């Protein structure tokens, strides 16, 4: 059997990593740092303005060498070329995953199926910019002639999380005369609360849906349509002034009643969770303006170029992704905590949850065989310092290994006394405490009574990386997102899974419809579910009719 067709766990490189871990696992980060005074400077890399310190991971040079060999054996370089080359690497959906083309420079050629996609990408970006400028300068008027003051993005999943995250992250760059709201949930509370204080005459809805068939988005878009018509006197012509769409489905958009002149397209080779830098980012572009949006694309592209061309030892997404594999498969870490010490990144962990978990939450390999190893870890997190006052306890003293990604910036966008220094001091102190801990001897030396001492011991040896960036700019945000996109891709290549499909999401979309029909019918429906689901449906139908 050639090495190429071996399953991951049968690969000699994988086995070598297992033997290496057996030798390595009792070595404490304290020893690793003591043995190499340069470690904290050596085990670092830099890309597109992001400094990546991975010295507090439980690795050494041998680990990196073996991970590199594993990546070679898994054909990482060829898979990167295939992605950038527009090959149909999303095999279960038989399409390319070409989000890197969304930030290609004008004139660069990126082909899929023999066609250069870059000119179309730039044509849409230009239309977006023209439209964004009209909204921003007030020349795009609502039906009654008033200028637009509030934008409401309606979308879910990939058509929501990127736009919300980017809006929050780049608030400091937004036009504060415009307000932005995001409606995603089919729960009416989301729409009702987002619109309750709005004047329809000054509101523009951006309906974002790649397929334009998603139940939640279409339901909310219809609610918005009715809300708008009711407030504006019922004239259907108002829709064209108050609704634009972002989709790949022109027929669906036209059927809804949105003019295809104000539809911004994208392509089936853009996955939902990889779409914040195409027309799905229209709300972002309106908020920050086309120039800042282009700067964000430049940041994405800088990381793409780094990923594509930098040797392994200095390649930040490769190192980041392989360390995630090391932690998941050898340290047995089931999750990764993402901890931005930057309040503007408060939605970044939620964004990464989708990016990482929808991409790598897979249990079969590309060949359809079950994966006999852990794949995609759980991503979660909250901004620092808030998390320190809640779940960090478990990270410091719990029984599980939770590798952390700390993210910090050297300059603040919201200067207030010495608060930014305090914030970043906390970041550095946390990663230091996680790595080095506090020994029993140190605890006792502080005069702690014997009975209390075990409770106050911090084992340390808890792995983390730190991403340090000068300032949260649109460029930095683009680079950061692209870093995680490529890290997730690297992980998926090693695990030999399709990181670009999402059959679990599709299942949810299909299942809900059948049950919705059963809840909607007036006569008692004939049910054919398990006894639990049937009892829940009956109880719900009964109780919803009664006042509380
Ligand atoms: C993303 C997923 C999923 C998708 C939503 C919305 O990668 O496919 O989160 O973005 O289900 O889909 P539409 O954009 O088609 O409405």
Write out pLDDT tens, residues 235-294.
999 999 999 999 999 999 999 999 889 999 999 999 999 999 999 999 999 999 999 999
Confidence at residue 1, expressed as pLDDT on a 0 to 100 scale: 44
Alpha helices in 38-117 (DSSP H): 39-42, 61-73, 76-84
Q: What separation in Å is there between the alpha carbon of 214 and the centre of ligand 1?
A: 8
Q: What separation in Å is there between the alpha carbon of 527 and the centre of ligand 1?
A: 29
Q: What separation in Å is there between the alpha carbon of 470 and the centre of ligand 1?
A: 33
How long is the chain? 548
| DSSP E strand stretches across 474-515 | none
Give yes or no for residue 217 CB within 6 A of ligand 1.
yes
Q: What separation in Å is there between the alpha carbon of 156 and the centre of ligand 1?
A: 6
What are 220's two structure tokens? Answer: 């909310």
Give yes or no for residue 405 CB within 6 A of ligand 1.
no
Q: Atom 2 (ligand 1): residue with closest C-alpha? A: 272
Give yes or no for residue 534 CB within 6 A of ligand 1.
no
Residues 261, 515: Cα–Cα separation, whole Å: 36
β-sheet bridge partners, residue 438: 458
| Ligand 1 atom at minimum distance from 214 CA | 16
Give yes or no for residue 44 CB within 6 A of ligand 1.
no
Residues 545, 548: Cα–Cα separation, whole Å: 9
Q: What share of the chain is helix, strand, coil (3-state, %, to 5)?
A: 55, 10, 35
Q: Which of 92, 95, 156 to mutate to test the pocket of ligand 1 (most atoms within 8 A of CB)?
A: 156
What are 100's two structure tokens? Answer: 């890197």
| Ligand 1 atom at minimum distance from 271 CA | 7
Q: Which of 215, 277, 505, 506 to mutate to test the pocket of ligand 1 (most atoms within 8 A of CB)?
A: 505
| Ligand 1 atom at minimum distance from 247 CA | 14
Of 499, 545, 548, the closest CA to residue 522 belongs to 545
Residue-wise pLDDT tens digits, 198-234: 999 999 999 999 999 999 999 999 999 999 999 999 9
Q: What separation in Å is there between the alpha carbon of 154 and the centre of ligand 1?
A: 12
Is 143 in contact with 232 (CB distance < 8 Å)? yes
Backbone angles phi, psi at 135, to 5 degrees: -70, -45
The overall pTM is greater than 0.85: yes
Catalytic residues: 358, 389, 509
Give yes or no for residue 501 CB within 6 A of ligand 1.
no
Is 207 in contact with 243 (CB distance < 8 Å)? yes
Give yes or no for residue 159 CB within 6 A of ligand 1.
yes
Is 58 in contact with 64 (CB distance < 8 Å)? no
- Count Cβ atoms below 10 Å from residue 150 Cβ, excluding itself: 18
Element (H, E) at 160: none
Give yes or no for residue 387 CB within 6 A of ligand 1.
no
C-alpha of 22 from chain center? 33
Residues 172, 189: Cα–Cα separation, whole Å: 28
Give yes or no for residue 485 CB within 6 A of ligand 1.
no
Q: What separation in Å is there between the alpha carbon of 158 and the centre of ligand 1?
A: 5
Tokens 């004047």 sit on residue: 199
Q: Which of 208, 214, 507 to mutate to test the pocket of ligand 1 (most atoms within 8 A of CB)?
A: 214
Low-confidence residues of the chain: pLDDT under 70 = 1-4, 547-548
Is 49 in contact with 409 (CB distance < 8 Å)? no
Q: Atom 11 (ligand 1): residue with closest C-alpha? A: 157
Q: What separation in Å is there between the alpha carbon of 321 and the centre of ligand 1?
A: 24
Residues 41, 37: Cα–Cα separation, whole Å: 9
């Amino acid at each position: 059997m050639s090495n190429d067709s071996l399953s991951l766990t049968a690969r000699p490189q994988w086995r070598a990593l297992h033997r290496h871990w057996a030798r390595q696992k009792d070595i404490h980060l304290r020893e690793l740092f003591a043995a190499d005074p340069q470690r904290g400077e050596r085990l670092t890399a830099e890309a597109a303005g992001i400094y990546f310190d991975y010295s507090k991971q439980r690795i050494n040079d041998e680990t990196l060498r073996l991970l590199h060999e594993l990546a070679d054996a898994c054909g990482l370089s060829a898979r990167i070329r295939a992605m950038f080359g527009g090959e149909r690497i999303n095999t279960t959906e038989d399409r390319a995953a070409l989000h890197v083309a969304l930030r290609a420079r004008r004139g660069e050629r990126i082909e899929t199926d023999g066609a250069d996609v870059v000119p179309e990408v730039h044509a849409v970006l230009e239309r977006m910019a023209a439209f964004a400028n009209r909204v921003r300068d007030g020349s795009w008027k609502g039906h009654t002639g008033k200028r637009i003051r509030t934008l409401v993005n309606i979308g879910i999943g990939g058509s929501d999380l990127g736009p919300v995250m980017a809006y929050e992250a780049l608030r400091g760059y937004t036009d504060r005369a415009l307000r932005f709201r995001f409606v995603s949930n089919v729960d009416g509370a989301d729409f009702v609360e987002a619109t309750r204080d709005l004047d329809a005459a000054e509101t523009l809805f951006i309906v974002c849906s790649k397929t334009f068939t998603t139940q939640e988005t279409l339901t909310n878009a219809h609610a918005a349509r009715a809300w708008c018509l009711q407030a504006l006197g019922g004239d259907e012509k108002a829709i064209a002034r108050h609704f634009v769409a972002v989709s790949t489905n022109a027929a669906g958009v036209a059927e809804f009643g949105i003019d295809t002149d104000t539809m911004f397209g994208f392509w089936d080779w853009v996955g939902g969770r990889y779409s914040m830098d195409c027309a799905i980012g229209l709300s972002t572009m309106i908020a920050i303006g086309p120039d800042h949006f282009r700067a964000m694309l430049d940041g994405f592209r800088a990381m793409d170029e780094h990923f594509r061309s930098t040797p392994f030892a200095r390649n930040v997404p490769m190192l980041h992704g392989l360390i995630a594999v090391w932690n998941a498969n050898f340290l047995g870490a089931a999750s990764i905590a993402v901890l931005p010490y930057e309040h503007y990144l408060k939605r970044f962990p939620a964004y990464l949850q989708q990016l990482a978990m929808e991409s790598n939450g897979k249990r079969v390999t590309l060949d359809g065989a079950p994966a006999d190893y852990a794949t995609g870890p759980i991503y979660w997190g909250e901004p620092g310092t808030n998390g320190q006052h809640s779940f960090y306890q478990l990270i410091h003293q719990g029984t599980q290994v939770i590798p952390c990604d700390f993210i910090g910036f050297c300059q603040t966008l919201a200067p207030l006394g010495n608060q930014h220094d305090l914030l970043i001091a906390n970041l550095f102190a946390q990663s230091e405490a996680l790595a080095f801990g506090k020994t029993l001897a140190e605890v006792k030396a502080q005069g702690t009574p014997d009975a209390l001492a075990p409770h106050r011991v911090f084992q340390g040896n808890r792995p983390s990386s730190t991403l340090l960036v000068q300032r949260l700019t649109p460029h930095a945000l683009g680079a950061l997102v692209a870093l995680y996109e490529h890290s997730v891709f690297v992980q998926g290549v090693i695990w030999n899974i399709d990181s670009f499909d999402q059959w679990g999401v599709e299942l949810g979309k299909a299942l809900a419809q059948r049950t919705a029909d059963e809840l909607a019918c007036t006569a008692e429906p004939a049910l054919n579910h398990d006894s639990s689901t049937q009892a829940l449906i009956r109880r719900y139908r009964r109780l919803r009719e009664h006042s509380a």
